[in-house]
């Protein structure tokens, strides 16, 4: 059985669906600090079976141990964490405590129960401002500009040191690029709090009439139209990468493992590319204005995903049109997200 920390969140719920389709058994562990039980119910609807879950915090070692005692857990997909960049600058201790200390508690528990397989959610943010693109996994990491990014970098280092000390661990780090989109059913999707920081949820809210105008943060970057370029990846493709990572860890080829993979499409799209595609699928005009650059933003960030294809047998299948279409479908069906949250 796989323990899914943070399984009620945006990427977690989509991963539950893909795991269920591949016939894996799992149990969700989430404190619902940024999600709701309703999201779990929606997953149950999609997969047509109950989802087993326990409410708890990854920093609560006693509760974690109870869960490991109760279920026979042989691997962990570790999504749980706080992820808002701006908030992390204002609340660094909360972010390091939740993300770093929480991960340490989880790893202690795994060690105690001889559960040695883990897939960890990292981020392309660990590359900081890359010298060139596409980004390969061997690029230097650590030039992070906010506590959120630094917490991801620190956890990667902790996992590496743990592996050096105990190479019976099998560790896969997935560095996500920009997850967007939603399950095609429109039952589950991204449900940001307040004013969205990220581009796709902001555009969706403008299209649905919840916000008036999108601010485009700078049009003087060295990119094809001057606006920032990113590697947007459909969340269902991203979810599938976790299924492939688990398959890989379960394969008998390796007795120990420490690997890092970029999870992106390999294509970079600008802010204006996304706006145009979204307008096409939604048949809505997206009013926007050009404003100054956002602090901490880089011009271009997109992956070379060849390693994940070669080793995990994983490749993104969905394009920008699919991503916009599914984001829009989710937004229209759930203008206020999960109401319960
Ligand atoms: P999310 O906030 O939707 O999901 C995270 C889940 O973890 C939530 O359900 C939350 O309630 C839970 N959680 C948080 N702290 C917890 C704790 N201490 N104990 C138990 N549960 C806790 O975020 P997401 O977008 O699904 O992201 C999942 C992971 O992927 C995170 O680690 C995030 O940093 C990472 N990531 C996300 C993105 C992105 O753009 N969404 C990009 C790169 C990496
Ligand atoms: C942001 C985070 C990053 C995190 C990633 C994935 C920052 C500085 N970085 O990255 O740490 O890993 O999300 O969740 O917050 N844009 C606009 N107007 C908007 C919103 C965004 O023009 O209202 C532009 C940005 O300048 C960027 C692009 O859209 O060029 C994508 O932005 P966003 O969705 O926030 O993702 P990242 O900046 O890649």
CB 218 within 8 A of CB 293: yes
3-state SS of the chain: helix, strand, coil percent to 5? 40, 15, 40
**Ligand 1 centroid, distance to 83 Cα (angstroms):** 6
The preferred substitution site among 79, 175, 183 for testing ligand 1, maximizing ligand atoms within 8 Å of CB, is: 79
What pLDDT was estimated at residue 284? 96
Residues 11 and 235 sit within 8 Å (Cβ to Cβ): yes
For the stretch 165-203, pLDDT in tens is 999 999 999 999 999 999 999 999 999 988 999 999 999
Report how far ligand 1's centroid is from the alpha carbon of 103 (Å).
12
Instruction: DSSP for 190-231, please give it.
Output: ---SSS--SHHHHHHHHHTTSSS-EEEE-S-SSSSSSS-EE-
Predicted confidence at residue 16, as pLDDT, reads 98
- The helix or strand, by DSSP H or E, that contains position 279, with its residue range, turns out to be helix 271-282
CB 135 within 8 A of CB 302: yes
Atom 11 of ligand 2, nearest CA residue: 125
Q: What is the pTM of this model?
A: 0.98
Angle (deg, nearest 10), helices 102-112 and 147-165: 20
Which ligand sits nearest to residue 122's alpha carbon?
A: 1
C-alpha 83/C-alpha 2 separation (Å) is: 23
Q: How do residues 119-156 score in pLDDT, each as one tens digit? A: 999 999 999 999 999 999 999 999 899 999 999 999 99
Q: How far apart are CA 47 and CA 16, in angstroms?
A: 9
Q: Tell me the two tokens of residue 29.
A: 């562990």
pLDDT at 312: 96
Q: Could you tell me how many residues make up the chain? A: 341
Q: What is the pLDDT along the chain (341 residues), one digit of tens a residue?
A: 999 999 999 999 999 999 999 999 999 999 999 999 999 999 999 999 999 999 999 999 999 999 999 999 999 999 999 999 999 999 999 999 999 999 999 999 999 999 999 999 999 999 999 999 999 999 999 989 999 999 999 999 999 999 999 999 999 999 999 999 999 999 999 999 889 999 999 999 999 999 999 999 999 999 999 999 999 999 999 999 999 999 999 997 777 799 999 999 999 999 999 999 999 999 999 999 999 999 989 999 999 999 999 999 999 999 999 999 999 999 999 999 997 65
């Amino acid at each position: 059985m796989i323990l899914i920390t943070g399984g009620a969140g945006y990427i977690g719920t989509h991963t539950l669906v893909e795991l269920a389709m591949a016939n894996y058994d799992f149990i969700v562990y989430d404190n619902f600090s940024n999600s709701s039980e309703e999201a779990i119910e929606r997953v149950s609807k999609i997969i047509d079976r109950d989802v087993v879950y326990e409410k708890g915090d990854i920093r609560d070692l006693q509760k974690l141990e109870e869960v490991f005692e109760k279920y026979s857990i042989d691997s962990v997909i570790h999504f749980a964490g706080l992820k808002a960049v701006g908030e992390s600058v204002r609340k660094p201790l909360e972010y390091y405590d939740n993300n770093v200390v929480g991960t340490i508690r989880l790893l202690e528990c795994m060690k105690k129960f001889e559960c040695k397989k883990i897939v960890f959610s990292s981020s392309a943010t660990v590359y900081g401002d890359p010298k060139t693109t596409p980004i390969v996994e061997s690029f230097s990491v650590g030039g992070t500009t906010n506590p959120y990014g630094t917490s991801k970098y620190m956890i990667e280092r902790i996992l590496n040191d743990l592996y050096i000390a105990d190479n019976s661990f099998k560790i896969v780090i997935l560095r996500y690029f920009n997850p967007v989109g939603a399950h095609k059913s429109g039952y589950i999707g991204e449900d940001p709090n307040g004013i969205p920081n990220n581009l796709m949820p902001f555009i969706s809210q403008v299209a649905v009439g919840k916000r008036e105008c999108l601010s485009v943060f700078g049009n003087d970057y060295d990119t094809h139209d001057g606006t920032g370029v990113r590697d947007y990846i459909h969340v269902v493709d991203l979810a599938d990468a976790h299924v492939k990572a688990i398959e890989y860890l379960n394969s008998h080829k390796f007795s120990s493992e420490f690997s890092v993979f970029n999870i992106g499409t390999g294509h970079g799209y600008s802010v204006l590319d996304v706006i145009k595609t979204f307008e096409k699928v939604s048949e809505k005009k997206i009013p926007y204005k050009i404003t100054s650059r956002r602090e901490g933003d880089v011009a271009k960030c997109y992956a070379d995903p060849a390693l994940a294809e070669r080793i995990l047998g994983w490749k993104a299948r969905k394009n920008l049109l699919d991503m916009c279409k599914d984001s829009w479908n989710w937004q229209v069906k759930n203008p206020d997200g999960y109401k319960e949250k």
